[in-house]
Structure 1
Amino acid sequence: MTQTTLSRKDRRARAAKAAKYYGIADSAAALTMHEAYEALAAAAGPHAARLAHEVSQAHPANRHPWLVLGTVALDRREAEAATKFFERALLIAPTDPMGLAGLGKARVLKADIFAAIDLFAQAIERGSEDVPMARLYADLMGRLDRSTTAGRNLRKMAERMKTAEIWFITADAFATGESNAEAAPAYEEAARLSPAPIAHRIGLLKAKLFRQNYRGLIVGADALLAEADLPPAHRDEIVTLRMAALRACGETERALETLSHRFEDPAQFQRVLGFSGNCHLDREDFRAARIAFREALHLVDGGGLWVRRAYGTFLMGEGDFAAGAPYYAGRQPDANRRRIPYENSEPERLATRDRLFLVDEQGIGDQLALLPIIGRAPLPAGAKVTFVGEARMKPLIERSGLGIAFAETTKVDKMGVAPEEMIFVGDLVRYLTVEALAARPLGGYLNADPVQVEMTRARYREMAQGRPIVGVAWHSSDAITGAHRSLALETMLRALPEGALVVNLQYGDREAELAQAARSRPDLTLFHDAAIDQFADLDGFAAQIMALDRVVSIDNTTAHLCGALGHPDTHVLIPKGAACMWYWGRQGSPDRWYGNLQLHRQAQLGDWSGPLSEIAAL
């Protein structure tokens, strides 16, 4: 019903409602403002602008006409005008979500990406339900390698809006950021709210991959692939997911059969070639792996982040750091490289720096492995080095033997740092050689809080009453390599000394696993120390590790922290094949990286009996 066909009574009621909603006492102006929003929704931009302009002249202190004018300017891609209108609205209402989102979009038009994503995050925090903005925010954050942060912000929006669309955007953000444990429930919620779309059904397959339900993924993929009307792009993606699951199940030959599929999407075929390289690594066919990675690298212009990183780490796993480092440099998105070029880490440039900021990347384990390489970089004497990372790293960095300072990621933009003063911490690998690692490994540079160590050790010794105190970590949640790196806790317990006090070093809720494992070894005392949060309190975690007689761990953050601390009796279970991370090389124990870890390597893919027998014999 139009304004002209409303009865006088209805018009008065509508005017009163509009006046209250828009905060305009003048009922005629309030109705005009309402008509402007209706015109905006109907894509009648010129009409909306005329109506909003009329209201802005009579009520310049009201935010709504400026919001409409800003939106119309955005539609016309008039960045300056949109900026002016939205800034005017935010002067009146600084926390208005539409104004924050609109100003963010205007910043995108002006190529001011970092200001834009900050404004989008504020808009989400203030209650925005702008789905196109959410998509844009997720895309921009992905280009900056900040997808996990985007996912956590978008999850607030999804919980508020409760729509499948925003849950799916959230899930994709988490998946892009490799935050698999957070991506899985988001995909599942999107499919619960709207189960029919093929993208949501594929999302459920991804959730199964992330939850390491590989058999369930294969069954689900086969069911979808049996549908005749499946679009080719979706079919390619499902085939790729199925290959990843087959490889994770140890079915290498069936996984390699995926190469016979006729792909229409080059990006999916590239990923399959990369997976085939991993399959060849599982079979220790290093020549075939090299060929597969190189073929994947050259299939798509620029190679792609994933395959460049994969080939770089393959070469460095072989010990060829000089050849691998330039490929590994390609792990960062172009947007990040425009901000922090790889060239910033060149020796000629570092030699002129009186201060340097090492920017964090990847996970905590990778950061712990990469940080000490700074001691090999050709910086001038007296150069001040600052590590930029998460707040939970602060006490460990400030107490380390590296002689570097710490700054939180969220605060570094206010420190007046020039772009040429920053490098990503992973770019330091260019300064490694196998010979240098053999002569001087990288471990033992962190120092746990001695007071916390003694307090924790005293508590454990009182519980142990002279028995060995052994810490254990047994599970990785990584969707691709986690199954190869993990084992059941009760299996790991077979290698532990009789009567030991066994301290859980695995973060998260592990109560059920601990209870089940305890029944397999009643002579052991399994203990979860509720006073220490291994995820949030890294300083407390470090003290806990140094309070232990021995640590037995899979390859995860626990192992890297033990190496960085120089723990004297740590034993790490290393899988065979592609899941063996490049830090450890292809053979040998103790490890080449830290120098203090004992590596126990599988002889056969998926068989932990040999490594566990070695540990049991200690």
Structure 2
Amino acid sequence: MINKKTQAPLPPFSTQEDADPQDTNLLEQAQQHHQNGELQIAESLYRSFLETVPSHPGTLHNLGVIGLQTGHVGAALKLFQCAVTADPEFADAYCNLGIALKAQGQLAEAEAAYRRAIEIHPDMAEAHSNLGVTLKDQSRLDAAAVAFEKAVAINPEYTDALSNLGIALKELGRIEEAIGMFRRAAALHPDQPELIANLGAALLEVDDANEAERILMRALTVCPDSAEINYNCAKAMFSKGDFPGAEHHFQRAIAIDPKFSDAHHNLGHVLLIQGRLTEGWREYGWRWLAKRFNRAPRAFPYPLWDGSQLSGKTILVWSEQGVGDKLLFSGLIPELAQQAERCVIETEPRLATLFRRSFPGVDVVVRKDPPDGLISSSHFDFACPMGDLPRWLRPQLENFKPLGPYLQADPELSAVCRSGYKSLGDGPIIGISWASRPPKGIPLQDWGDIFAIPGAVFVNLQYGEHAEEIAIAEADFGVTIHTDCAIDSLSDIDGFAAQVAAMDAVVTIQNATLYVASGLGIPTFAFVSPVPDWRWFGQDHSPWHETVHLNRYCESGGWNPALKKVAQILNNSRTKPGIEATE
């Protein structure tokens, strides 16, 4: 998203009402030169005029404008202050004073200056818009949106305010409204590539990759050296599954801006999807600097592990990202522990119990700030974020070894769960998880083929409140979907793992349920997004897990072909000793 920052200063203020008639011509000449861009001549003439009228507010203001235009912000600020002292009702001077204050990082003072300008002149669209920018820089998005809306209401063709309003609305999650603002701005100035680029980026948020790519490519013809536009073009192509095209534009964005962290991070995903793991893991390392990653690495005083030999060494690994990735990457802990003399894992509280049982011989501590005493009292040769383990332990697809079952559920609780579920019917116990935003989620109304499996016992593994949707599906398909109220899948991952371990099979979208089931070695049928996820490296099976069957969305048939296929496999498995997810 290309942000439109605070406006350029308001133009030179044209008035000679306080001037002596003999100096009027001098002031008119100064203003003419100023408007023509001849700033040095204009400044000299303004200063000559001030020798006659030292406190002339309009001239003080105009000299301040020149200060902003030439980068002398401190001098400009003082001149605007003099102007509003000479004329406390000078709205333009207050507005430009706000610009100078904001440029020096004085956001609260800038806000006050803009509000004073608005108090004097409520219909000054520029002051409302600049106030919005200042509020946005203070992370006050709701108030910023209101300010931009007022600017647009005053001047419906105020392109900068329209664009800034679109950006604020997008960040507030009001994406459709944001797209409307971007369309209006782009229609007013179709020759401005940054406006077109913002529209294209917003369209990506509503999965309209085709229009986004068309719009962004048009912007590139005008501005081929824009890193941001190349980046958004790449994202559009990525969404359409055009990975070579996405790679090209991510690389182009990086060539223009070598420190463009989001481009590096997304390039990593593209390379991983194409099975180019060595390059992909390297670029994936930029995730810590990417805007959307929104996390900071742990600041442990130890060198980061670089894949070197760990014999006789100690290593501290901290888990990162969402629960699903923590569960997936933790599958490499047993290998790491075999190589090192000592391995310590720092993780979030809800995973600690499960990890302690699953990885005997590894010290597991709960993440704290400051760190747990076991960490602070120990010395480590290396530290490593968990997401970097694949870089060193799975550097190539050609010899990518599946992990096998590596999570160990609480056997007693799992036995209790299974006994309870077996009492509900004689058929296979099938856990289901389905809810997310389209196209990732699959409404239960589409699960008819799964629910038609004779004798199956269906167990709800979906987190969140879905009682109404479950009740409708039960009525429509004549099945019972059992919800175990004793299990909290969000706060008690160990209990949830015991529940999942009681299943004969799990049918799920790509969420934490998938990674719990696969880590336990449960036959798992996963419905994955239309665009291949980087975690599968472009394969039609899971390189990590031999018990996972990947099923993809079909553009022509939606999820129905995948659901029918899984139902058929599960039906066929009813007459066999066990369910195989790799059929």
TM-score range, shorter chain: 0.5 to 0.7
The two structures have a TM-score, normalised by structure 1, of 0.59
Confirm or deny that 1:575 pairs with 2:529: yes
Q: Does the C-alpha gap of structure 1 residues 268 and 424 become closer, same or farther in structure 2, counting only changes over 3 Å?
A: same
Q: 1:297 to 1:419 in 2, by over 3 A?
A: farther
CA change 1:166–1:459 in 2 (3 A) is farther
Gaps spanning 5+ residues in structure 2: where?
Answer: 1-106, 109-131, 152-160, 570-583
Question: In the superposition, relative to structure 1, how do residues 239 and 253 fare at CA in structure 2: closer, same or farther (>3 Å)?
Answer: closer
1:365–1:560 contact (8 Å) kept in structure 2: yes
| Partner in structure 2 of residue 65 of structure 1 | none
Amino acid at match of 2:324: G
1:257 to 215, 225, 229: 215
The answer on whether the counterparts of 2:409 and 2:498 sit within 8 Å (CA) in structure 1 is: yes
| Structure 2 partner of 1:459 | 420
Q: Aligned-pair distance for 1:260?
A: 1.5
- Structure 1 pair 254/422, CA: closer, same or farther in 2 (3 Å)? closer
- Matching of residue 600 in structure 1 with residue 559 in structure 2: no
Determine which structure has the larger helix proportion and give its number. 1
Aligned to 1:3: none
Query: 2 CA distance for matches of 1:190 and 1:526?
Result: 46
What does residue 565 of structure 1 align with?
520
Query: 1:364 & 1:436 partners in 2: Cα distance?
Result: 27
- 1:575 and 1:254 mapped to 2: Cα distance? 19
Check the 8 A contact 1:350/1:378 in 2, yes or no: no
| Amino acid in structure 2 at the alignment position of 1:506 | Q
Per-residue CA deviation, residues 518-572 of structure 1 (Å, 9 max, x unaligned), is 3432x111233322221111011111111222211111111111111111x2100
Partner of 2:268 in structure 1? Answer: 312
Structure 2 Cα separation of the partners of residues 168 and 535 of structure 1: 33
Instruction: Tell me the SS of whatever aligns to 2:315.
Output: strand
1:585 aligns with 2:540: no
Asked if the contact 1:502/1:526 (under 8 Å) is kept, the reply is yes
Aligned residue for 1:344, secondary structure, equals coil
Task: Sort the Cα spacing of 1:546 and 1:348 in 2 relative to 1 into closer, same or farther, 3 A.
Answer: closer
Change (3 A) 1:379 1:244: same
Amino acid at match of 1:601: R
Aligned mate of 2:256, from 296, 299, 319: 299
Mark the CA change 1:561 to 1:187 in structure 2 (over 3 Å): closer, same or farther.
farther
Q: Deviations over 1:431-474 (max 9, x none)?
A: 2132433xx41141001111111122222223x23244322112
Instruction: Please give the per-residue CA displacement for 1:366-398, whole angstroms capped at 9, x wherever unaligned.
Output: 1111122234449745x2212112100111100
Flag the 1:323–1:469 CA change in 2: closer, same or farther, 3 A.
same
Cα distance in 1 between the residues matched to 2:310 and 2:146:
52
For 1:424, which of 376, 385, 398 is the aligned residue? Answer: 385
| Inter-CA distance 315–466: structure 2 relative to 1 (3 Å threshold) | same
In structure 1, the residue matched to 2:461 is 505
* Kept in 1: contact 2:196–2:215 (CA 8 A): no
For the 8 Å contact 2:230–2:250, the answer to whether it is kept is: no
1:399 Cα deviation (Å)?
Answer: 0.7
Secondary structure of the corresponding residue to residue 399 of structure 2:
helix
1:169–1:465 Cα change, 3 Å:
farther
8 A contact 2:303–2:382 mirrored in 1: no
Is contact 1:369–1:564 with CA below 8 Å preserved after alignment? yes
The equivalent position to 2:277 in structure 1, one of 321, 330, 333, is 321
Question: 1:96 maps to what in 2?
Answer: none
- Tell me which residue corresponds to 1:434: 397
Shift of 1:237: 7.0
- Structure 1, unaligned runs of 5 or more: 1-130, 133-163, 173-185, 478-482
SS at match of 1:329: helix
* CA-CA distance at 1:224 after TM superposition: 5.8
Amino acid at match of 2:533: M
Is 1:516 aligned with 2:475? no
Q: Secondary structure at the match of 2:430?
A: strand
Amino acid at match of 1:470: I
The equivalent residue for 2:365 is 407
Show CA shifts across 1:89-141 (max 9, x none): xxxxxxxxxxxxxxxxxxxxxxxxxxxxxxxxxxxxxxxxxx98xxxxxxxxx
Partner of 2:77: none
Query: Identity over aligned residues, as a percent?
Result: 25
**From 224, 228, 232, the counterpart of 1:268:** 228
Equivalent in 421, 443, 458 of residue 488 of structure 1: 443
Report how far residue 349 of structure 1 moved. Answer: 6.2
Q: CA deviation at 1:501?
A: 3.5
Mapped partners of 1:406, 1:329: distance in 2:
24
**Separation in 2, partners of 1:499, 1:215:** 45
Which residue, out of 502, 527, 538, partners 1:547? 502
Q: How far did 1:328 drift?
A: 1.2
Q: How many residues align structurally?
A: 418
- Which residue identity is paired with 1:584? W
Q: Deviations over 1:55-83 (max 9, x none)?
A: xxxxxxxxxxxxxxxxxxxxxxxxxxxxx
* Counterparts of 1:230 and 1:336, CA distance in 2: 39
- SS of alignment partner, residue 434 of structure 1: coil
User: Residue 473 of structure 1 corresponds to which residue in structure 2?
Assistant: 433
CA distance in 1, matches of 2:299, 2:397: 31
1:341–1:269 Cα change, 3 Å: farther
- Is 1:395 the counterpart of 2:353? The answer is yes
Larger Rg computed on CA atoms: 2
Q: Compared with structure 1, are the counterparts of its residues 385 and 338 closer, same or farther at alpha carbon in structure 2 (3 Å cutoff)? A: closer
Q: Is the Cα–Cα contact under 8 Å of residues 319 and 585 in structure 1 kept in the other structure?
A: yes
Output the amino acid matched with 2:530: K
Note the C-alpha offset of 1:428.
Answer: 1.2
**Counterpart AA for 1:615:** V
Work out the CA distance in 1 between the residues paired with 2:269 and 2:321: 14
Distance 1:434 1:343, change over 3 A: farther
Shift of the 454–338 alpha-carbon distance from structure 1 to 2, 3 Å rule, reads closer
Match of 1:35 in 2: none
**1:448 paired residue number:** 409
1:278 pairs with 2:210: no
Q: 1:188 to 1:341 in 2, by over 3 A?
A: same
The one-letter code of the counterpart of 1:393 is L
- Residue 327 of structure 2 is matched in structure 1 by 368
* 1:527 paired residue among 479, 482, 487: 482
In structure 2, relative to structure 1, the CA distance for the partners of 1:218 and 1:339 (3 Å cut) is same
Once the two structures are superposed, what CA deviation does each residue of 1:242-293 show, in whole Å capped at 9, x if it has no partner?
23135x14x5255343232256995632540331341342xxx433232123
The 3-state SS of whatever aligns with 1:599 is strand
Q: Distance in 2 between matches of 1:512 and 1:385?
A: 46
SS in 2 for 1:485: coil
1:99-118 alignment runs, 5 A limit: none
Q: Distance in 1 between matches of 2:502 and 2:568?
A: 23
Distance 1:597 1:410, change over 3 A: same
Aligned position for 1:239: 199
2:485 and 2:225 map into 1 onto residues whose CA distance is 49
**Contact kept? 1:217, 1:245, Cα under 8 Å:** no
Partner of 1:70: none
- Write the distance in 2 (CA, Å) between the matches of 1:514 and 1:192: 40
Aligned-residue offset at 1:169: 8.0
Partner amino acid, structure 2, of 1:407: V
